[in-house]
């Protein structure tokens, strides 16, 4: 099994890999539809060698097996609303999803008000049709308490599946969709996120959009474009950039900046108690290579004193040192201008935030290890990428460095919420460690193309950025086990960078 999962969306998105094909006119309402080239085609995409490299590592087979199980568990959750997928059902369905990810496929999940309805087709051999029929019947009959009908057929080299069987009437042109994809195409998808009953989209902060995704292999990279069309104009405050460049230097290995976020942030329950001029409108995160904990954040606020007072009040409710759900103790400076979270097992200085002022601007800034001193500024060519009037967000990274940072931060987050770190020997972690050095640089832009449309463009050797790859690997392996009893005795060693990768 060779590993790949298009884009690292949420588990609900991944579950939609069971979808079907584009219907003929008149178009049937849909929740999601796409075409995926299939992992087996990646070797032919000479314009994106990195994509093939990360899906043909020695560890890809084991990670693919585990991913297939997670897909089965996710589909069970979507169909039944329950998390306890029976092991026989998982074992019956997992080989099907492994095979589907390998093959070229196209599909649609239809917009039906009361039940799941989908159809898909894939270039899977006829000899596998019986196994698909048996596996899907076992899965859906168990999930629904009886066989309510699933269609599995094979014609002209294509496996066709519909659930329930009546959905076949909505997909008369399955093969035509597979025949119209460009040779360098990796993925195209059309997602009506507002219609998803279990959507990861933060609808309370921003209306769910219609998302159109296209990924192609070109110029030795995967270039992805995502168009997000919203039902109404966005209230984005495009103020001039105010990055804390005085805290950065030429050792920066990752930089992400976003602006115009105040209207959305203010709707968050976390910030509703803040004064309006204490709600940030920009946010910057950057990383340095000395250790995997050299990650920093910084953002300007109008009233830093009010911000720190509100933040201290909120964090103090969680980080008490005795909270059974969260590990850590909040310590606040006597002037209220700085704070840190202590009593967590970490090899190095605890995470901290403080007020920093320069040129009459107040910033909230912090991180872990102190930044290495250097007189060389952050490269001007990197900052020049922000000089676009319609730019909402920009991210650039040396992806190998980014993965190492996000991996350690994800381990730390798990420990703070009292979960053991995922073992480095877990299939997803082994795969991530093996592909890390194969990914080059990644750059992402997010632009305001129209009052109600945002367009993201991404250039990456493997299609995904460091944070997404870490999230994908963690999803493959599942959550860490809860820490019970005294967490300090349960975790004899603090969070630290992983050991050197074996050659």
Give 455-484 as a DSSP string: EEEEEETTSS-HHHHHHHHHHHH-PPPBP-
Q: Are residues 279 and 371 in the same domain?
A: yes
pLDDT number for residue 27: 61
Residue 436 lies in a domain: no
pLDDT number for residue 314: 93
The runs of H, that is alpha helices, within 327-453 are: 380-384, 399-416, 427-435
pLDDT number for residue 324: 86
Q: Are residues 184 and 70 in the same domain?
A: yes
Nearest of 334, 349, 324, 355 to residue 486 by alpha carbon: 324
pLDDT number for residue 486: 53
pLDDT tens per residue across span 445-465 = 999 999 999 999 999 999 999
Could you tell me the sign of the dihedral formed by the alpha carbons of 119, 180, 122, 38, in that order?
A: negative
Residue 36 lies in a domain: yes
CA distance 186 to 99: 17
Which two three-digit tokens encode residue 267?
A: 């709707």
Q: Are residues 254 and 396 in the same domain?
A: yes
Return the residue matching tokens 């969680």.
318
Q: Are residues 403 and 268 in the same domain?
A: yes
CA distance 266 to 277: 10
Q: Are residues 22 and 161 in the same domain?
A: yes
Q: Are residues 362 and 274 in the same domain?
A: yes
Q: Are residues 251 and 158 in the same domain?
A: no
Last residue of a domain, one of 169, 194, 219: 194
pLDDT number for residue 81: 85
pLDDT number for residue 230: 96
Residue 156 lies in a domain: yes
- Domain containing 120: what range? 11-194
Beta bridge partners of 495: 346
Residue 376 lies in a domain: yes
Long-range contacts of 436-440 (CB under 8 A, 24+ apart): 436/399, 436/400, 436/403, 436/404, 436/501, 437/400, 437/501, 438/50, 438/53, 438/54, 438/57, 438/462, 439/50, 439/54, 439/399, 439/400, 439/403, 439/466, 439/469, 440/50, 440/221, 440/398, 440/399
- Structural domains counted in the chain: 2
Q: Are residues 386 and 268 in the same domain?
A: yes
CA distance 92 to 72: 9
Residue 143 lies in a domain: yes
pLDDT number for residue 496: 47
CA angle 383, 384, 387 (to 5 degrees): 110
β-strand pairing of 254-259 with 391-398:
antiparallel
Q: Are residues 190 and 269 in the same domain?
A: no
Q: Are residues 167 and 260 in the same domain?
A: no
pTM for the structure as a whole:
0.88
pLDDT number for residue 147: 65
Q: Are residues 274 and 394 in the same domain?
A: yes
CA distance 110 to 19: 9
pLDDT number for residue 172: 62
* Residues of the chain scoring pLDDT < 70: 1-27, 147-148, 171-175, 485-503
Q: Are residues 288 and 349 in the same domain?
A: yes
CB contact at 8 A, 205 and 267: yes
Residue 446 lies in a domain: no
Residue 452 lies in a domain: no
Last residue of a domain, one of 173, 194, 215: 194
b or e along 192-231 (b: 16 or more beta carbons within 10 Å of the residue's beta carbon)?
bbebbeebebeeeebebbbbbbbbbbeeebbbbebbbebe
Residue 79 lies in a domain: yes
């Amino acid at each position: 099994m060779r590993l790949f999962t298009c884009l690292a969306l949420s588990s609900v998105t991944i579950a939609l890999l069971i979808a079907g094909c584009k219907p003929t006119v008149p178009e049937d309402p849909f929740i999601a539809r796409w075409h995926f080239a299939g992992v087996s085609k990646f070797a032919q995409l000479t314009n994106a060698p990195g994509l093939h490299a990360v899906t043909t590592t020695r560890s890809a087979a084991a990670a693919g097996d585990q991913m297939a199980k997670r897909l089965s568990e996710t589909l069970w959750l979507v169909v039944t609303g329950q998390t306890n997928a029976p092991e026989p059902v998982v074992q019956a369905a997992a080989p099907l999803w492994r095979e589907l990810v390998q093959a070229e496929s196209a599909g649609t999940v239809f917009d039906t008000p009361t039940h799941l309805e989908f159809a898909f087709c894939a270039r899977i051999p006829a000899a596998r049709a019986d196994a698909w029929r048996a596996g899907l019947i076992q899965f859906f009959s168990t999930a629904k308490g009886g066989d309510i009908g699933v269609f599995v057929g094979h014609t002209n080299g294509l496996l066709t599946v519909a659930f329930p069987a009546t959905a076949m009437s909505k997909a008369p042109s399955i093969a035509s969709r597979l025949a119209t994809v460009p040779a360098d195409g990796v993925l195209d998808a059309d997602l009506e996120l507002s219609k998803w009953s279990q959507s990861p989209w933060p609808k309370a902060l921003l209306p769910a959009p219609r998302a159109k995704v296209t990924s192609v292999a070109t110029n030795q990279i995967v270039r992805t474009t995502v168009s997000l069309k919203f039902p109404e104009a966005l209230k984005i405050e495009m103020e001039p950039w105010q990055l804390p460049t005085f805290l950065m230097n030429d050792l920066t290995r990752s930089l992400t900046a976003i602006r115009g976020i105040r209207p959305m942030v203010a709707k968050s329950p976390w910030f509703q108690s803040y004064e309006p001029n204490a709600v940030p409108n920009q946010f910057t995160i950057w990383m340095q290579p000395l250790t995997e904990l050299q990650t920093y954040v910084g953002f300007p606020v109008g009233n830093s004193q009010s911000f720190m007072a509100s933040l201290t009040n909120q964090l103090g409710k969680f980080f008490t040192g005795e909270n059974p759900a969260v590990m850590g103790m909040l310590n606040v400076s006597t002037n209220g201008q700085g704070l840190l979270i202590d009593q967590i097992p970490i090899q190095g200085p605890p995470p901290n935030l403080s007020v920093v002022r320069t040129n009459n601007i107040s910033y909230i800034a912090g991180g872990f290890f102190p930044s290495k001193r250097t007189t060389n500024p952050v490269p001007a060519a990197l900052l020049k990428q922000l000089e676009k009037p319609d730019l909402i967000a920009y991210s650039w990274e040396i992806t190998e460095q980014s993965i190492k940072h996000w991996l350690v931060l994800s381990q730390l987050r798990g420990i703070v919420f009292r979960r053991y770190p995922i073992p480095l020997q877990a299939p997803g972690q082994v795969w991530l460690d093996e592909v890390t050095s194969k990914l080059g640089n990644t750059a992402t832009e997010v632009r305001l193309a129209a009052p109600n449309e945002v367009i993201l463009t991404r250039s990456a050797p493997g299609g995904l950025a460091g944070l997404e790859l870490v999230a994908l690997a963690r999803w493959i392996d599942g959550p860490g086990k809860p820490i019970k009893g005294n967490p300090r005795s349960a975790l004899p060693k603090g969070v630290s960078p992983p050991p050197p990768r074996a050659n």
